[in-house]
């Protein structure tokens, strides 16, 4: 039985953002790992995908005590994507 092709990095990012869009709440890394595997993202890639979303300002991260908490409000995701499109549109003109 042949194994199927894995998800692309962009597909993993999209699925990870779906986790945050479904519920406007904050998550601990362990919770994101559990939800990410349910979305079809392999466990080893979850931290890397999450870090890329934080670096692109699509997900917020805050260290509280010894734990990191992550959240992304739908309005923040919308605004970041809108700003990126506007910036690209201005560069094209």
Could you tell me the CATH number of the domain that includes residue 15? Answer: 1.10.10.10
Tokens of 51: 């870090």
Total domain count, the chain: 1
Minimal CA–CA distance to 20: which of 9, 6, 36, 4? Answer: 36
Q: Is position 61 within any domain?
A: yes
pTM above 0.85, yes or no: no
Q: Is position 52 within any domain?
A: yes
The number of CA neighbours under 13 Å toward the Cβ of 26 is: 10
Q: Is position 2 within any domain?
A: no
Q: Is position 3 within any domain?
A: no
pLDDT tens-digit map of 9-68: 999 999 999 998 888 889 999 999 999 999 999 999 999 999 999 998 889 999 999 889
Structural domain harbouring 57: 9-92
Q: Is position 62 within any domain?
A: yes
The residue behind tokens 């692109």 is 56
d(CA 72, CA 26): 8
Q: Is position 86 within any domain?
A: yes
DSSP 59: S
């Amino acid at each position: 039985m042949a194994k199927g092709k894995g998800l692309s990095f962009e597909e993993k990012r999209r699925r990870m953002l779906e986790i945050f869009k479904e519920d406007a709440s904050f998550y601990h890394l362990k919770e994101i790992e559990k939800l990410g595997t349910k979305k079809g993202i392999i466990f080893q890639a979850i931290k890397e995908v999450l870090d890329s979303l934080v670096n692109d300002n699509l997900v917020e991260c805050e260290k509280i005590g010894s734990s990191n908490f992550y959240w992304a409000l739908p309005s923040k995701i919308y605004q970041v994507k809108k700003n990126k499109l506007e910036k690209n549109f201005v560069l094209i003109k």
